[in-house]
Structure 1
Amino acid sequence: MDYKDAGAIKKGSNKPRHSEHNAKGSRKNPFGKSEGKAELLARMKAAAKARQNAS
């Protein structure tokens, strides 16, 4: 194979092929919004209870 005619390697871009539906700074997940510990704990307890009731 003649590598002389292959040309230069194309430089890749560092951006993703698609955007995430809940990316930081989007409408669903704005910057500076963080859920409090109480909300997180309540959500975890609800998930645990749902898992317990399912089995």
Structure 2
Amino acid sequence: MDYKAAGAPKPAKGTPRHSEHNARGTEKNPLNRKDDKAALLARMKAAAKAKKG
């Protein structure tokens, strides 16, 4: 008897069950968008300064 073939088939691996709301390549988050590191750093510094007092 072939015990390997017994039981339920294994599900496909590596495929997401749903698409992410902020996935790259969508209308809200295009692939050619450039993340602005300077703006991010400025926001982080402002948040740290506001938290400090």
TM range (shorter): 0.5 to 0.7
CA offsets per residue over residues 28-50 of structure 1, 9 Å max, x none? 21111112232121121123234
Q: Which amino acid aligns with 1:36?
A: D
How many residue pairs get aligned? The number is 52
Q: Which has the higher helix share?
A: 1
For the residues of structure 1 that align with 2:4 and 2:25, how far apart are their CA atoms? 46
Superposition RMSD in Å: 2.9
For the residues of structure 2 that align with 1:3 and 1:52, how far apart are their CA atoms? 64
Q: Report the CA distance shift for 1:42/1:8 in structure 2 as closer, same or farther (over 3 A).
A: same
The residue number in structure 1 matching 2:6 is: 6
The residue number in structure 2 matching 1:37 is: 37
How high is the sequence identity, in percent, across the aligned residues? 62
- Calculate the TM-score normalised by the size of structure 2: 0.59
The residue number in structure 2 matching 1:26 is: 26
For the residues of structure 1 that align with 2:36 and 2:5, how far apart are their CA atoms? 59
For the residues of structure 1 that align with 2:5 and 2:17, how far apart are their CA atoms? 29
CA offsets per residue over residues 7-52 of structure 1, 9 Å max, x none? 6844614211111111111122111111223212112112323433
